[in-house]
Structure 1
Amino acid sequence: MDLVIAGATVVLEDRAARLHVGVSDGRIAALVDGAAAVPSATRVIDAEGLMLLPGAIDAHTHFTAGHDDILPEIEAGTAGAAKAGVTTVIEMPHMNPPATTLERFLAKRETMAAHACVDFALWGGLTGANLDQIAPMHEAGAVAMKAFSCSGRADRAAGDARGLPGLDDDALSEALREIAAVGSLLGLHAENHDIIQGSMARLRAAGADGGRAHGAAQPEIAETEAVARAIHLAGHHGARLHIVHLSTGNGARIIDAARSAGRIVTVETCPQYLVLDEDDLERIGGIARCGPPIRPRATVEDLWAEVATGTIDALTSDHCPYPIALKETASIWEAAMGLTGIETTTPIFIGAALDRGLDPALIGRMIATGPARIFGLYGRKGAIAPGFDADLILLDPKGETVIDAAAFEGQAKWSPFDGTRCTGRIRATFLRGTEVFSHAGLAAWPGAGQFLPRA
């Protein structure tokens, strides 16, 4: 074998066990009981006392959304992904212009293939006027189609040339009809457009500003209502639905009830909804502005309860590397909507989950197995099992990571998590058996990433 990682606590899908993990030709070749002799290999890593997790799959990134200088951001941002244990990214369609046609989708695929440091898959984008592009993008390997049920503009138009418009109910219904017909998956930013627009208008008219005002403009009911409505429409058409960046436990329970009724719906959340709260949003301001907004502490704890029970399928970052000038604005209402996250999501979540005593297998399912299954990558990605790509995170669970935004690989050197101390320290990241990050530094290179069409 090319590599053996010996004696680690290996996080499998259903448990953690002390094993020796063998790697050959970039794939997991053997799992050997840790009490047995260490198999021979070209390289053997003594991992006693360390934890080995499947490489993280970040299914919600926007490397090309924050600005038009996308090539340096793809290269530096995906290098940062490797540093943070992320071995696969699934990039959203936002760019100038967005990937809403087959031609643009294929162009983005070529760009990512030439510049990404880690493996990648791609979303297609929906506008309400491009239903004829769903099937071609699906056939070209798009793992899902992205849509919004809301917009920051009253007329539902996209916020800029890189974005997507908010779909009204008829457009959403028709998109779901076509999604079902071709066998694709709809990923939805689910918030009620009218509630947000009305709330925001009243708050701004009253002179309200700051983090709490932003939170009040996008209340919990805007999310839960939109989630329930989307589930109903998807069920009517027999379409698969994925709710992105869920921020509430109530939303999770709506999804869980729908599953019990036979609906095909999955859900992700992000660290900002599990670690930060409304007090942080008020203190940090525009740097922490995102949609849905960061919630009150009681809502954060309620969402953790749904994570612990397994209702949440996946963890993502919703990484948006905006230039700092778009975040440090005089008014919260002018700050760009979104957070950096590719270099913080895995360490923040793993640390918080370990602190709460969560089962390591649940951590592995959320960062890797869940997204792999949702987006058609399972079998190659998402688990430490024979035949799977040897995408691995070697973690010291007794170490510590301090988030330092100034040291980010990506161009956006800011984070609402800056200065946060996290339990656990990533010792190494492996992409298809190659060590792309270690104590010696980064060894990831542009173009190393491979395109992953859905299975």
Structure 2
Amino acid sequence: MSGTFDLLLKGGLVVLPDREAQLDIGVKDGRIAALGTDLAAGEGTTVVRADGKWVLPGMVDTHVHLNEPNMGHWEGFATGSAALAAGGVTTYIDMPLNGLPPTVNVPALRLKEALAQGASAVDYAFWGGLVPGNVGELEALGREGVAAFKAFLSNPGGDGEERFREVDDVTLLEGMKAIASFGGLLALHAESDAITSRLADEAAAAGRTGPRDFAATRPIVAELEAVGRALLFAKTTGCRLHFVHISSPEGVELIDMAKREGVDVTVETCPHYLALSEEDLVRLGPIAKCAPPLRDEERIERMWKQLAEGKLDVIGSDHSPSPEELKSLEGRTFMQAWGGIAGAQSSVEVMLEEGHFRRGLPLPLLSRLLSTQPAKRFGLYPRKGEIAVGFDADFAVVDPGAGYTLTKEHLLQRHPISPYAGRTFSCRVSSTWVRGCKVYSIEEGVRLPGHGIPLSPNPLGR
């Protein structure tokens, strides 16, 4: 087949929703125009060989904290999107907190939009937030195109009057009613503040300040109580629900049970809950501190089993960066160190290493979790998330033979700290393509730093 393609990606092993196939991909005007075994270049077609490489749909990372406005010294759109591009991410959705002001009304959303314009290497959308006092702002945010809303059931931390705050039960219930009224989606950080705050206060009073002490203040029961409460509210209100960074197989089972009862709910976990354990928290220190905390090896294996059984819906990085000094133990205890894992650049490689190379899971399964299902749940499908005719030509080209050891020098985020530094991977993202343009390659780095465009998700995910 011949055609007037702008780009022809030839000879790669293409990861489709249900299989892998040696295919050529013809691209026209930023979209996939043809898939075939012998596509021919026309006049003016750029031909790129992908022999021996895997071509996956670009990751759709729905859980990213890039901290603009006014917190760009932690991470900004330029540096954060560069790291995402280097990791095979072609679309991300930026979280509403850790910027000042947080995205809890339309004026704050406008600030985000202005700062991202021309700064992002890959395509993007935004979250809105549900906090005490802003229930009346939610519908307007939905009309302006936020992909979903985020709320915390425990204290998100931070300082200042403007910071993002956790919801009380009345705000949660009223917010869910409002979001349900216009068909929106609410995502929750599900930990019971009543449990975690009390245990943290008791640990501080007893002088228990180490990594295992921190993990003990955020037990699995805190996750389960919050999940159960939110599911009850969802059944009452009809609100579509999504749980972010679930850390335990018990939590996954509780959500799966609700799905089988007809609740419109999905569940995300993160690469760090599948690749790092509490022992890594002890070994690495605050660089591996996050909330919920890392769990034990036995639970990690149970979550991999659940992943293989289809009980998990989304993999998101929860890239939550901070300056290195906030991770330092100089002058502070482990409890006082900032919590958050900076993993934007490693999600695809961690999932391929742990899922495919180590556990033999098929590439299409991993790709659905990284790309297709996030795009579907957050209203970016059928434009994003799949290699199929008519979709954006968004690709993560992976070299399965390019094993390497990640070092700080590889990291493109603002602060080069990662719990994966020092880890050896069997494969590496060799190039990333957004709408038919190569935005990153190992040899050239980030080639098109302002290539990303804002997306307008369909709030109902259809």
**C-alpha distance after superposition, 1:312-331 (max 9, x if no partner):** 11111111220011111231
Structure 1 residue 432 corresponds to structure 2 residue 435: yes
Amino acid at match of 1:31: L
Amino acid at match of 2:186: L
Structure 1 residue 410 corresponds to structure 2 residue 390: no
Q: Partners of 1:375 and 1:46 in 2: how far apart?
A: 32
Structure 1 residue 334 corresponds to structure 2 residue 336: yes
**C-alpha distance after superposition, 1:21-65 (max 9, x if no partner):** 111111111111x3xx34224122222221110001111111116
Amino acid at match of 2:425: C
Cα pair 2:131 2:164 within 8 Å, conserved? yes
Q: Partners of 2:394 and 2:123 in 1: how far apart?
A: 10
Name 1:97's counterpart in structure 2.
101
Q: Partners of 1:160 and 1:320 in 2: how far apart?
A: 19
User: Structure 1's 450 and 429: CA in aligned 2 closer, same or farther, altered over 3 A?
Assistant: same
Q: Partners of 1:380 and 1:362 in 2: how far apart?
A: 19
Partner residue of 1:145 out of 128, 145, 149: 149
**C-alpha distance after superposition, 1:243-285 (max 9, x if no partner):** 0011111111111111111000011111110011011101111
SS at match of 2:285: helix
Amino acid at match of 1:449: G
Name 1:343's counterpart in structure 2.
345
Name 1:319's counterpart in structure 2.
319
Partner residue of 2:116 out of 91, 112, 115: 112
Cα pair 2:91 2:123 within 8 Å, conserved? yes
Structure 1 residue 389 corresponds to structure 2 residue 392: yes
Q: How does 1:10-89 map onto structure 2 within 5 Å?
A: 10-32=14-36, 34=37, 37-41=38-42, 42-64=45-67, 68-69=71-72, 73-89=76-92
**C-alpha distance after superposition, 1:345-367 (max 9, x if no partner):** 22112221112111111111111
Cα pair 1:147 1:164 within 8 Å, conserved? no
Q: Partners of 2:344 and 2:318 in 1: how far apart?
A: 8
User: Structure 1's 28 and 6: CA in aligned 2 closer, same or farther, altered over 3 A?
Assistant: same
Amino acid at match of 1:276: L
Amino acid at match of 1:136: A
Amino acid at match of 2:130: L
**C-alpha distance after superposition, 1:112-163 (max 9, x if no partner):** 123111100000111121011101110000000110011157xxxx654564
How far off is 1:446 after superposition? Answer: 3.7
**C-alpha distance after superposition, 1:69-122 (max 9, x if no partner):** 359722122112111111111000121111111111122112112311110000
Partner residue of 1:357 out of 347, 355, 360: 360
SS at match of 1:17: strand
Q: Partners of 2:423 and 2:79 in 1: how far apart?
A: 22
Q: Partners of 1:45 and 1:53 in 2: how far apart?
A: 15
SS at match of 1:398: coil
Cα pair 2:69 2:112 within 8 Å, conserved? no
User: Structure 1's 404 and 81: CA in aligned 2 closer, same or farther, altered over 3 A?
Assistant: same
Cα pair 1:28 1:387 within 8 Å, conserved? yes
Cα pair 1:128 1:175 within 8 Å, conserved? no
Name 1:202's counterpart in structure 2.
202
**C-alpha distance after superposition, 1:389-410 (max 9, x if no partner):** 0000111122213222233112
Residue identity (%): 38
Amino acid at match of 1:313: D
Amino acid at match of 2:372: T
Name 1:290's counterpart in structure 2.
290
Q: Partners of 1:289 and 1:71 in 2: how far apart?
A: 16
User: Structure 1's 433 and 394: CA in aligned 2 closer, same or farther, altered over 3 A?
Assistant: same
Q: Partners of 1:140 and 1:294 in 2: how far apart?
A: 36
Name 2:279's counterpart in structure 1.
279
Structure 1 residue 129 corresponds to structure 2 residue 133: yes
Amino acid at match of 1:143: A
Name 1:169's counterpart in structure 2.
169
SS at match of 1:20: strand
SS at match of 1:332: coil
Question: Bigger CA drift: 37-46 or 119-128?
Answer: 37-46
Show structure 1 runs of 5+ residues with no match.
none
Total equivalences in the alignment: 448
What is the TM-score normalised by the length of structure 2?
A: 0.93
Q: Partners of 1:53 and 1:138 in 2: how far apart?
A: 31
Cα pair 2:316 2:370 within 8 Å, conserved? yes
Question: Bigger CA drift: 397-406 or 326-335?
Answer: 397-406
User: Structure 1's 85 and 160: CA in aligned 2 closer, same or farther, altered over 3 A?
Assistant: farther
User: Structure 1's 29 and 161: CA in aligned 2 closer, same or farther, altered over 3 A?
Assistant: farther
Q: Partners of 1:289 and 1:435 in 2: how far apart?
A: 34
Cα pair 1:368 1:382 within 8 Å, conserved? yes
Amino acid at match of 1:347: E
Amino acid at match of 2:259: R
Q: Partners of 1:88 and 1:26 in 2: how far apart?
A: 14
Amino acid at match of 2:341: L
SS at match of 1:427: strand
